[in-house]
Amino acid sequence: MDLRLDSDSRDLAESARRFLADRLPHPRLVAMSKAPPGFDSDLWRAVVDMGWLMPCEEGPAGIEALVVLLHEVGYAGAPMPLLATVRAQRLPVELPELAPGAVLTVAEASTSWSSGGLRVDRAAGGLEVYGGPVPVPWGTEAETIMLLVQDNDGAVLLAVSGSAADDGCIEPGEPFDNEPTSWLHPDKLVSVSNAMPISGGLDRWRDECLVLAAAVLVGTAKRVLELTLEHVRLRKQFDRFLGSFQAVQHQCADAAIFADAAWLTLLDATWRLRDEEEAGRSARVAAVVAARAAEAATLIAAQLHGGVGHIDEFVLPVYFRRAKAAQLRLGPSVELLRDIGREASCAPGEDWWPE
Amino acid sequence: MRIALDDDERNFRATLRQYLDAQDLRAVVAEQSGLAESDIGPEGRRFVRRLGSDGWLGLAWPKELGGGGRSRVEQWLFVEELAYRRLPYPHATLMAIGPTIASIGTPAQRNEWLPSILRGEILCAIGYSEPGAGSDLAAISTRAESRDSAFVVNGHKVYTTGAHYATHVWLAVRTGESSSRHRGLSVLLVPMTTPGITVRPLYTQAHKRTNEVYFDDVTVDRSCLVGQINEGWSAMMMALNFERIQPCSKVVRDVQLIAQVKDALGANQDAEALLGECVVDAEIARLLTVRAALEQAEDRLVAGHASMAKVWMSDARQRIAGQALDALGAAAAYGKGDALAPLRGELESLYTDSPFMRFAAGTNEVQRDLIAQRLLGLPRGR
């Protein structure tokens, strides 16, 4: 038994970390967060050239490499459509022919606040979609938006071309973090002729999405903890280093426990997805813990930095906003918790440890 | 890179389960439910001796010491399985005291004590805490004066669980100057039949027995000194490190207990969310524990990792019990003695016991200090 990454994954993580640190030093991150969030096409091209989208072609085994890379994206606080594109690539359907390195994204009605309003009408022999609007990460930048609609009659995927923005279907939004996010108005879609029914595999896809999003959050938690430790080791008050006060130490210890817990639950879920058909509850547990770890790390960081951490010339607010926004994009945590609780069993002898 | 058990480990666990399934252990489990988790009753002691005679004690001890020569991962699986079934195990004696004697004891001590430990005949109580030395163990004041070929011990130990049936006490004593702190401590393995030892029961708020022990001019032969005089601190700490990594199957059992709350309340979204919280808590406890146990088994324990497991496990078990009681409301205000109490009052028992888990084996505050200073590299306060 082992709970560590192997040397290939460690090498991949190290090279990704060096690359992102080089491309996105903190002053640049801060500057990008003040301007309207945008798409750094040079950065994206470099990421594509390095093959960061390639693990998807390796089948289920690619999940581990993606988790490693997205963890580094979270660590760097990097605004880029890697998670959005990978989510689309891993949908359990054959996607239309696309240019290599195309930015993709998925708009999923069921995770939006307006999920109750979106419905599909198949009665007229065709297919009409009502309701919305639906949040779309990187919707304005995407070449194709995969609109996933699920109702009692099943799941349907609609490919929406990026040019639909011209029809007013896609409206830029103003997210509070540095990940450009748009609104999709399904009722303004002119053509939905390319509807693709999804017959299976959606549960696994959702598990993968949770784990990949968790990876970004865990990276966020780890980086914010490091920034905090650097600060309390150097900052002096009352002629003492902040980090020597027990009250400060205990907050750092709690953030560290949470970050480690998030990393371990992430690994557990990743390896289950790699080795098994279903991740079971582990994907949902990983998502909940990652979100809480990132939130705890940023709240503790804000408290221990005091004023300097609250000023938007500093990098901490970038991470602060990213942690909360990424958590929200997972959907309400209480829904994840209910799913976990619904499956839990009191059957005596149930053997769910310590695999 | 893997997290699952390998074939040898699976086979080992299957054999162990077969062995345990073949026995009627209901009386042992029933007895254990009324005891502190580290305590062992008469039925349990018979069970431990049976484990010894069937070769299940000291699984990871080297064969030349009479042990099983198995891996420490298998040893850990063994401890987890017993805890999961609520069966007793002399954790401190086998996991800490025996290996410490094997490591720093004299040949005579090894010959005399280790075979008896492996047969389940020696059970040790831990004699560390004192009225004036809790978290601060370096303040221990129980004295051992050197006289001729013996020590004369005087002092007062508290929370000495198991002292009323233990064969020996693993006793931390001051042999140096009173101001010598951790540099003046030694460890003696003292037979409990030695004249001058008085054991008095103390009962916890969870109605579980522990003890206080008085030592009045207790003459202990020099041959009972384990390791060098005034160098007992590291031997003492070894026992504490093992205590910090508790079997994670305990919290898994807690969640299975709590799952009955969901059944009691029927289909209910609040109960499902509550149970989801408990599962998340338990999963974190499980993985932090697995990591620390594996690191310890492979002699690569990272400073602070055992503390992380201890903090989360004890905090989580308290949260789990408290939240589940809350979900049940007024009906849950009946304790173990009440025939109608939900879940037989086990939740109340877990909740009432839970503060102990948070302050025992080094308080969670001390653990957070250790994490901050030894793992995160923050400076010590002055």
A255 and A297 Cβ atoms separated by less than 8 Å:
yes
pLDDT at position A12 is 92
Q: What percentage of chain A reaches a pLDDT higher than 70?
A: 85
How far the first Cα of chain B sits from its last, in Å, is 42
Task: Give the largest CA-CA distance in chain B.
Answer: 73
Rounded CA-CA distance A61/A43 in Å is 26
Report the share of chain B in percent with pLDDT over 70: 98
**String of DSSP letters for B166-230:** -SEEEEEEE-S-TT-GGGGEEEEEEETTSTTEEEEEEE-TTS-EEEEEEEEEEEEEGGGEESSTT
Sheet holding A134-137, edge to edge: A134-137, A181-184, A170-172
How close, in Å, is residue A245 to chain B by CA atoms? 6
**Per-window interface: B 303-332 vs A, CB < 8 A:** 304, 308, 311-312
Q: Which residue, among A282, A289, A296, has the nearest Cα to A324 in the 3D structure?
A: A296
- Residue B133: closest CA among B112, B108, B160: B160
Nearest residue of chain A to residue B77 (CA atoms): A354
- Distance in Å from the first CA to the final CA of chain A: 9
Sole residue written with tokens 């005399």? B112
Residue that has been written with the tokens 């009250």 in this structure: A247
- The rounded distance, in Å, linking the Cα atoms of B307 and A258 is 13
Residue A245 confidence (pLDDT):
97
Contact A91, A106 (CB under 8 A): yes
With CA atoms as reference, the chain A residue closest to B277 would be A337
The confidence band for A112, taking pLDDT boundaries of 50, 70 and 90, is very low
This complex has an ipTM of 0.91
DSSP H stretches of helix in chain A: 7-23, 26-34, 41-49, 62-76, 82-89, 202-234, 246-275, 281-305, 316-328, 333-343
Summarize the confidence of residues A278-292 as an average pLDDT.
93
pLDDT of A181 > 80? The answer is yes
Fold of B245-374: Butyryl-CoA Dehydrogenase, subunit A; domain 3 (1.20.140)
**Separation between Cα atoms, residue A23 and residue B218, nearest integer Å:** 71
Query: A63 CA to chain B: closest CA distance, Å?
Result: 14
The 10s digit of each residue's pLDDT in A56-102 is 555 445 899 999 999 999 999 999 999 999 999 999 988 877 788 89
Whether residue B38 contacts residue B60, with contact meaning beta carbons closer than 8 Å, is answered with: no
Binned at pLDDT 50, 70 and 90, residue A169 comes out as confident
Q: Are B99 and B92 in contact (CB under 8 A)?
A: no
Q: Which residues of B touch A2 (CB under 8 A)?
A: 1-3, 294
| pTM score of the predicted model | 0.91
Of A264, A341, A353, the CB nearest to B262: A341
Torsion of CA A148, A149, A152, A155, to 10 degrees: -30
pLDDT at A126 over 60: no
- To the nearest 10 degrees (0 to 180), the angle between helices B7-21 and B72-84 is 40
Q: Say if the Cβ atoms of B284 and A265 lie within 8 Å.
A: yes
The pair of structure tokens assigned to B89 is 């195990």
Quote the CA–CA distance of A319 and A29 in Å, as a whole number: 10
pLDDT: is B334 or A3 the higher one? B334
**A232: closest chain B residue by CA:** B378
Q: Is the minimum CB–CB distance between B283 and chain A shorter than 8 Å?
A: yes
Q: For the segment B265-276, what is each residue's pLDDT rounded down to a tens digit? A: 777 888 889 889
The burial class, CB within 10 Å (0-12 / 13-18 / 19+), for A75 is: buried
What pLDDT score does A137 carry?
94
> What does the buried/exposed string (b/e) look like for B166-189 if buried means 16 or more CB atoms within 10 Å of the residue's CB?
bbbbbbbbbbbeeeebbebbbbbb
Question: Are the C-beta atoms of residues A171 and A182 closer than 8 Å to each other?
Answer: yes
Catalytic residue annotation of B:
243
Instruction: Tell me which chain B residues have a C-beta less than 8 angstroms from the C-beta of A253.
Output: 311, 367-369, 371-372, 376
**CA–CA separation, B179 and B140 (whole Å):** 10
Give Cα separations from B92 to A108, A234, A240, B171, B237 (angstroms): 54, 41, 40, 13, 12
Q: What gap in Å lies between CA B25 and CA B42, rounded to an integer?
A: 13
- The DSSP secondary structure of A155-209, one letter per residue, reads EEEEEEEGGGGGGTSEEE---SSSS-EEEE-GGG-S--TTEEEE-S-HHHHHHHH
Contact yes or no for B274/B294 (Cβ under 8 A): no
Strand blocks (E) in chain B: 124-127, 143-147, 150-158, 168-174, 185-191, 197-203, 209-221, 225-226
Q: Which CATH superfamily is domain B125-231 in?
A: Butyryl-CoA Dehydrogenase, subunit A, domain 2 (2.40.110.10)
Average pLDDT over residues A298-325: 95
Residue A354 has pLDDT above 80, yes or no: no
Count Cβ neighbours within 10 Å for each residue of B237-270 and write b for 16 or more, e otherwise: ebbbbbbbbbbbbbbbbbbbbbbbbbebbeebee
Distance CA B8, CA B341 (A): 43
- For residue A80, the number of C-alpha atoms closer than 13 Å in the C-beta half-sphere is 30
Count other C-beta atoms under 10 Å from residue A46's C-beta: 13
Q: Which of B256, B287, B379 sits opposite A265 (nearest CB)?
A: B287
C-beta atoms of B379 and A244 within 8 A: yes
pLDDT value at residue B195? 98
CA distances (Å), A154 to each of A64, A93, A122, A266, in order?
A: 30, 14, 11, 30
Token pair listed for B9: 């480990």
Task: Identify the bridge partners of residue B307 per DSSP, sorted by sequence position.
Answer: none
Contacts of B136 (CB under 8 A, 6+ apart): none
The tokens for A315 are: 């990098």
- Annotated domain spans of chain B: 7-89, 125-231, 245-374
Rounded Cα distance, B232 and A124, in Å: 84
Residues A131-160, mean pLDDT to the nearest whole number: 84
- What digits encode the pLDDT tens for the residues B146-169? 998 899 999 999 999 999 999 999
Cα of B2 to nearest chain A Cα, Å: 5
Identify the residue with better confidence: A353 or B197: B197
In the structure, what pLDDT confidence band is assigned to residue A2 with cuts at 50, 70 and 90?
Answer: low
Confidence of residue A192 (pLDDT cuts 50, 70, 90): low
Asked if B73 has any chain A CB less than 8 Å from its own CB, the reply is yes
CA distances B216 to B142, B157, B220, B292, Å, are 10, 12, 11, 40
